[in-house]
Amino acid sequence: MDDKNIQDIPVIAIDGPSASGKGTVAQRVAAKLGFHYLDSGALYRLTALAAMRSGIELKDEHALSEVAAHLNVVFADAEIRLNNENVTDAIRSEECGNAASRIAAYPLVRTALLERQRAFCQIPGLVADGRDMGSVVFPAAILKVFLTATAETRAQRRHKQLMEKGMNANIATLLQDIRERDARDSNRSIAPLQLGAGTHLLDTTSLDINRAVDRVLSLYAEISAKGPI
């Protein structure tokens, strides 16, 4: 597919901090529109998991970039397979999330994953969530949304999510991890987490998932109604 055709494909970029609900919102928006879905954070988590299983140190940028470039991963419906193993739950652990946040600061890792992320842009459209979907990966996205919530609200949501999966979790620890991850993601020199120009801020502290999804769909409908994409 040439660059012109890629530019003609509508992309909705949903960025935001950890546990803001952007993944769930993005998935539901994609389902409502019949679009493809990209969980960019999963690629960093997969890189972290593969590296930890291979005994690669998280400070070895070159080795980590090689892991990222050669990930044997398949996204099939709600299942994520690494080397033909279902790792859907494994990559959602707090250990994996924290490791992913650290390696995401490495330019070589981000470069290795960039084209893999852009390859998800296919007809009829794409909803992508992450930290830099609108600012770096899909700067021409037709709609850019920054989804956020207070750190306390996000810690409570993450706690509920982990408990439902049978994973042990402590609210105080989760809150500390979220604050540390926010600081790391916002202050890194490469593609920091930030509200960019032309991005719609959506605070979900007092919104449930359905209302957040409806808001994103409403924004997309408003933009689409203005003319051809």
pLDDT, one tens digit for every residue, the chain (229 residues): 444 455 689 999 999 998 898 999 999 999 999 999 998 989 999 999 999 999 999 999 999 999 999 998 888 767 889 999 999 989 988 889 889 989 988 999 999 999 889 989 999 999 999 988 999 999 999 999 999 999 999 999 989 888 888 888 899 999 999 999 888 888 877 777 878 788 999 999 999 999 999 999 999 999 988 765 4
Q: What is the pLDDT of residue 184?
A: 84
Rounded Cα–Cα distance for residues 87 and 149 (Å) = 28
Computed over its alpha carbons, how large is the radius of gyration of the chain? 17
Q: What is the pLDDT of residue 141?
A: 95
Rounded Cα–Cα distance for residues 153 and 177 (Å) = 13
Tokens of 221: 């409908």
Q: What is the pLDDT of residue 59?
A: 93
> What does DSSP assign to residue 165?
T
Q: What is the pLDDT of residue 195?
A: 81
User: Where in the chain are the domains?
Assistant: 9-221
Rounded Cα–Cα distance for residues 126 and 29 (Å) = 10
Using DSSP's 3-state secondary structure scheme, residue 75 falls into strand
**pLDDT tens readout for residues 11-57:** 999 999 988 989 999 999 999 999 999 989 899 999 999 999 999 99
Q: What is the pLDDT of residue 228?
A: 56
Tell me if 114 sits within 8 A of 137, measured CB to CB.
yes
Task: Summarize the chain as % helix, strand, coil (round to 5).
Answer: 50, 15, 35
CATH of domain 9-221: 3.40.50.300
Closest CA to 185 of 4, 7, 17, 11: 17
Q: What is the pLDDT of residue 1?
A: 42
